[in-house]
Amino acid sequence: MKNIDLDKIENAVKQILEAIGEDPTREGLIDTPKRVAKMYSEVFAGLREDHKAHLTKIFGEDHEELVIVKDITFFSMCEHHLVPFFGKAHVAYIPKDGRVTGLSKLARTVETIARRPQLQERITSTVADTIMEVVEPYGVLVVVEAEHMCMSMRGVNKPGSKTVTSAVRGIFAKDNIVRSEALSLIRN
């Protein structure tokens, strides 16, 4: 995977500061390009990680009932405006043939996928598809709710508004009772 070019980011930030009419040599801005470059290496770390790798550790357990990890906090950057959006992901799956994964692995998968220039819809679908592919459960349900700064601080200017997306796979797509049970537990 490609390494991040910190020098290139620093130069671009200097140009942005100049383009908006600021002086990048002003005391408060002297180190800003370096700080932004370092921040970008952190917030876009998912570009240099394999999101599937977290789920490859599978445990054999006699459990084929609902597993839910709720309130997985995340942040990402809107690929349209390069401003943050942040919120919570809720991941539910039903293990098949006793194939379970570590609970923290689900959270790490969400984090890795989110740490890229993203769309909320893509995060939701990618998490669900990845779990289906790697863990091979009966089904997956992912719900993501987030506040987008591109809606809160610009454009429509509606702070506090939330976007909710969901992805249902396998048994959750076919069985309304199973889907309703999972959604009920996520809401509580």
Residue 54: active-site member: no
Domain ranges of the chain: 6-43, 53-187
Choose, from 10, 54, 78, 118, the residue flagged as catalytic: 78
Rounded CA separation 107/112 (Å): 9
Residue 90: active-site member: no
Choose, from 15, 18, 63, 80, the residue flagged as catalytic: 80
| Token reading at 56 | 């490859």
- H runs (alpha helix) in 94-175: 103-114, 120-135, 149-152, 171-174
Looking at the structure, give the CATH architecture of the domain made up of residues 6-43.
Answer: Orthogonal Bundle (1.10)
How many H helices and E strands in the chain? 7, 7
* pTM assigned to the model: 0.95
82-128: pLDDT as tens digits: 999 999 999 999 999 999 999 999 999 999 999 999 999 999 999 99
Which candidate, 111, 89, 102, 163, places its Cα nearest to that of 134? 102
135-170: pLDDT as tens digits: 999 999 999 999 999 999 998 999 999 999 999 999
Residue 136: active-site member: no
Compute the C-alpha angle 149/105/66, nearest 5°: 95
Residue 150: active-site member: yes
DSSP assigned state of 64: -
Residue 78: active-site member: yes
State the fold for domain 53-187.
Answer: GTP Cyclohydrolase I, domain 2 (3.30.1130)
